[in-house]
């Protein structure tokens, strides 16, 4: 194999005045190219192009989608707030209906209690009248029995008094006339 030699084209070094201060003798960049003031106009141009492209992409594609999502959310929030207001109004109506039903139930309960009291009072009055009638009947029977007992007791007292007076007169040595003893006991009993 034969050795081939390749000719290296020798690049002439660029002078610092021609290339600016950001290029070395071989054409390479020195330091950070972003900070090279010689390249600023080129960088500003591409920065402006990039910002215009980003603005166009955002304004034509991303922002309409975001605006649609925000509008949809706003619509959902608005409809939810309207539904909440409707539900609140229904809750207020339900509470009013509940309070009215409660007041009606209390009034009906009061009416039932009043009726029950009236019925109980009527039953109690009938029972009291019946008990008073029974007591009056038993009292009349008792009065009759007591007057019979008094009459019987008076007769018994007269009989005992007559017998005792006759015995006392006989014990004292006299003869007791039954008619005289009865007349004396009768006059003493009368008073």
Output the pLDDT for position 167. 81
Output the pLDDT for position 72. 95
pLDDT tens-digit series, residues 166-178: 888 888 877 777 7
User: Which residue would you say has higher pLDDT here, 29 or 37?
Assistant: 37
Output the pLDDT for position 12. 47
In-domain check, residue 84: yes
Could you tell me what percent of the chain has a pLDDT over 70?
88
Output the pLDDT for position 8. 45
In-domain check, residue 31: no
pLDDT tens-digit series, residues 9-25: 444 444 444 445 677 77
Output the pLDDT for position 171. 82
The mean pLDDT value for 73-94 works out to 95
User: Which residue would you say has higher pLDDT here, 34 or 41?
Assistant: 41
Q: Quick check: 123 pLDDT over 70?
A: yes
How many structural domains compose the chain? 1
Identify the domain containing residue 122 by its residue range: 38-190
Output the pLDDT for position 134. 92
In-domain check, residue 18: no
In-domain check, residue 114: yes
Q: Quick check: 31 pLDDT over 70?
A: yes
Q: Residue 184 burial by CB count (10 A; 0-12/13-18/19+): exposed, middle or buried?
A: middle
The mean pLDDT value for 27-55 works out to 86
Q: Residue 165 burial by CB count (10 A; 0-12/13-18/19+): exposed, middle or buried?
A: middle
What is the distance between the alpha carbons of residues 171 and 133, in angstroms, rounded to a whole number? 55
In-domain check, residue 11: no
In-domain check, residue 33: no
> Which pLDDT band holds residue 2 (cuts at 50, 70, 90)?
low
In-domain check, residue 175: yes
Output the pLDDT for position 3. 56
In-domain check, residue 184: yes
Could you tell me what percent of the chain has a pLDDT over 90?
50
pLDDT tens-digit series, residues 99-120: 999 999 999 999 999 999 999 9
């Amino acid at each position: 194999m034969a050795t081939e030699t390749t000719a290296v084209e020798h690049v002439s070094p660029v002078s610092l005045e021609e290339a600016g201060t950001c290029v070395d003798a071989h054409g390479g960049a020195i330091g950070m190219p972003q900070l090279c003031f010689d390249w600023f106009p080129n960088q500003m141009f591409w920065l402006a192009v990039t910002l215009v492209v980003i603005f166009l992409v955002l304004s034509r594609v991303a922002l309409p989608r975001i605006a649609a999502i925000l509008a949809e959310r706003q619509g959902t929030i608005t409809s939810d707030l309207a539904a909440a207001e409707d539900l609140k109004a229904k809750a207020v109506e339900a509470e009013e209906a509940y309070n009215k039903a409660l007041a009606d139930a209390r009034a009906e309960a009061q009416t039932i209690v009043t009726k029950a009291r009236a019925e109980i009072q009527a039953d109690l009055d009938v029972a009291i009248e019946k008990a008073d009638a029974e007591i009056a009947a038993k009292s009349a029977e008792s009065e009759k029995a007591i007057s019979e007992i008094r009459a019987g007791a008076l007769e018994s007292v007269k009989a005992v008094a007559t017998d005792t007076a006759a015995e006392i007169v006989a014990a004292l040595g006299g003869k007791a006339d039954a008619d005289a003893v009865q007349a004396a006991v009768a006059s003493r009993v009368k008073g």
